[in-house]
Amino acid sequence: MLSQYIYLDALSVTMIILICFITGVVGAFAVRYLQGDRKQYQFYFLLSALLVCIVLLVSVDNLLLFLLCWGLSNYLLVRLMLHKNLWLAAKNSAQLASKNFMLSFIGIAAAFGFLYLATNELSIQAILQSNLKDSLLLPASILLLFAAMAQSALWPFHTWLLSSLNSPTPVSAVMHAGLVNGGGFLLARFAPLYKDHPSLLAFIVIVGLVTAILGNLWKLIQNDVKRMLACSTMGQMGFMLLQCGLGLFSAAIAHLCLHGLFKSYLFLASGSAAKDKNIDRVYTPRMTNVILAPILGIISAYSFAFFSNKIPLENNTNLILVLVSYIGGTQLALNILSSELRSRFVLALIASVAMCSIYGAVVNVFQSNLSYLNMPQKINAIHILSMLVLFMFWLISIFYTNLQQLMPLKKYIAKAYVSMLNASQPDPKTITAHRYLYNY
């Protein structure tokens, strides 16, 4: 009886493991961190409820239950964000988030309506296994994509995420590993809907790419640690959706999980931000570096391909992952080669190969377990364009000269900087512009 509403596949299990792990660890952290806080017990209650809701969300096989869990868990998240409810800015943050979640909720509800009309089924699996040719499925897919974009703070729905830092640190830690990823999960869950819609997939690629670029750029100009982390999450969400758009849903889920762990840790550790010093990168322009680093990059890209069971120069979208690993390997090699250590050549080789091997191995674990979500596409113009963009931005970021030393200041640079600064500001209502309006 109950089992007809539950569907546990590798995707649900992966998500359950992730969310239980994060909630457990952050909960343990909060035991000491929230010591003496007025609402410590309420926090635990809400956190446990949220855990239950998300676990249900990822394992139910019924449109209505899914919708219910989706709405409920977003509601609980908003309540958690509202921890300091006497603080006006925190209230406004929560309000902004709930408006956004409302959008995603409406999107899903409407999409589900279409799905039901098209198939007359309430079971998600039944829908996905039915003949996916109905004309009503396209609007459903578009609406689901819209919901995913709002949920995962994709551009232009990013403001709520950049304005969400009035929440206590543990809430941010849970959120950035949890419900922000909702969009990725949603698309993975309904992946079969998108498989045969290259134009939709291309659209996802573009949206993902734009968000990845914006988030990544904004992150680099942020002046406070938490907003930097939020912008970074935004960029990573973009990359996750980009992978979805490439048909690499399993890689997207890998990214979702690993980024969640990574970002949670960084939030919890954000109290140390003042202590770790900014060590400026200095690339000594030695000829050997410029030649050697790309070669080491190629070697490490091969090791990535080897460990992730891919063919390095295959004509499908996996190529983009190979490119990203190549960029990572080259960057690391370049950095080590620029040091003065005698063993730098050996060290650079070992480090970049090790890094890309780990990257490959981890991706492989996910992809082999979630192989049914693996739908790589043939390379098309959009894919080539996005590879070029990722590569070019990386090249510029290596060779950029420090803006503060630019003499004279180029007008377009000043303009670009200011517009990025303004675009990445939180919503004005969520900023405490008068100190005494802060309230614990």
Partner 1 sequence: MQTAQLKVSHQKHRVRCNVDHREILVRSVSKSWSKIAPFWPLQNLIAVNPLAGFEDLPFRDALKFGIAYFQQADLPNGMQIVNLHSIKWLQAYFDQGQSTIRMPKQNDSFMQSILALLPFDDKVISAADKNLAWLQSLPTEPIQIISNCLNFLKIPDTEYEQFLTLMLTTLYGWSSYVTYIMKWSDQEHSGNKYAIIEYEYLAIRLVLTCMLWPQARDVLSWHYNALKKTESIKIFNKIQVAENDYLGELLSKLKSRIHNFRVESLKAQLVFCIDVRSEPFRRAIENQNGYQTFGFAGFFGLPIRIDNKINGESYASCPVLLKPAHNITNLPFCSGKDPYNGYSIIKLFKQSYRSLKYSFTTPFALVEMLGVFNGFWMALKSLFPWIAALSKKFMLKLLSQEYALKPIKDSISLDQQAHYALSALRMMGLINNFSDIVVFVGHGSTTENNAYATSLDCGACGGRHGASNAQLLADILNDSNVRHIIKSQGINIPETTYFLGAEHNTTTDLVELYDHDAPDVFKNKILHIKQDLEKARQENCWGRAKKLGINTTKKQALTKIFMRSLDWAQVRPEWGLAKNASFIIGPRYLTQHCDLDGRSFLHSYDWHIDHDKTILTTILTAPVIVAQWINSQYMFSTLDNVAYGGGSKITKNITGKIAIMQGNASDLMTGLPLQSVHSSDDNSYHEVVRLTVVVYAPKSYVESIISQHIKLQNLFRNEWLKLICIEPATKDFYCLERNFEWSRV
Residues 161-190 that bind partner 1 (CB under 8 A): 162-170
In this structure, the number of other CB atoms found within 10 A of the CB of residue 117 comes to 13
Q: Which of 100, 119, 250, 264 binds partner 1 (CB under 8 A)?
A: 264
Q: What is the DSSP code (8-state) at residue 378?
A: B
Q: Which of 268, 292, 305, 382 binds partner 1 (CB under 8 A)?
A: 268
Question: Is residue 258 a contact point for partner 1 (CB under 8 A)?
Answer: yes
- Looking at the chain, how many residues does it have? 440
Binding mask 34-73 for partner 1 (x = CB under 8 A): xxxxx-----------------------------------
Helical axes 249-268 vs 182-189, angle rounded to 10°: 160
Question: Is residue 417 a contact point for partner 1 (CB under 8 A)?
Answer: yes
Question: Is residue 275 a contact point for partner 1 (CB under 8 A)?
Answer: yes
Q: In the bound complex, what is the minimum distance in angstroms from residue 4's beta carbon to partner 1?
A: 34
Question: Is residue 20 a contact point for partner 1 (CB under 8 A)?
Answer: no
Return left, alpha or beta for 413; rule: phi > 0 is left, psi -120 to 50 is alpha, else beta. Answer: alpha
**Nearer to partner 1 among residue 203 and residue 391 (C-beta):** 391
Question: Is residue 432 a contact point for partner 1 (CB under 8 A)?
Answer: yes
**Nearer to partner 1 among residue 131 and residue 440 (C-beta):** 440
Q: What is the token pair recorded at 125?
A: 């699996």
How far is residue 133's CA from residue 118's CA, in Å, rounded to a whole number?
9
Q: Which of 33, 75, 306, 345 binds partner 1 (CB under 8 A)?
A: 33
How big is the site for partner 1, counted in residues (CB under 8 A)?
Answer: 127
Closest CA to 62 of 4, 16, 21: 4
**Nearer to partner 1 among residue 288 and residue 439 (C-beta):** 439
**Nearer to partner 1 among residue 146 and residue 359 (C-beta):** 359
Of 349-408, binders to partner 1 (CB under 8 A) are 351, 355-356, 358-359, 362-363, 390-391, 393-394, 396-398, 400, 402-406
**Nearer to partner 1 among residue 189 and residue 259 (C-beta):** 259
Residue 164's contacts (CB-CB under 8 Å, 6 or more residues apart) are 81, 93, 97, 172, 175, 230
Q: What is the DSSP code (8-state) at residue 9?
A: -
Q: Which of 152, 289, 335, 377 binds partner 1 (CB under 8 A)?
A: 335
Binding mask 83-112 for partner 1 (x = CB under 8 A): xx--x-xx--x-------------------
How far is residue 58's CA from residue 16's CA, in Å, rounded to a whole number?
7
How far is residue 266's CA from residue 260's CA, in Å, rounded to a whole number?
10
Q: Which residues of 164-179 are buried (b: 16+ CB within 10 A; e: fewer)?
A: bbbbbbbbbbbbbbbb
In this structure, the number of other CB atoms found within 10 A of the CB of residue 43 comes to 21
Q: In the bound complex, what is the minimum distance in angstroms from residue 408's beta carbon to partner 1?
A: 10
What are the residue ranges of helices labelled H in 269-380?
A: 287-307, 318-337, 344-369
How far is residue 52's CA from residue 57's CA, in Å, rounded to a whole number?
8
Binding mask 110-149 for partner 1 (x = CB under 8 A): ----------------------------------------
**Nearer to partner 1 among residue 203 and residue 438 (C-beta):** 438
Of 216-245, binders to partner 1 (CB under 8 A) are 216-217, 219-228, 232, 235-236, 239
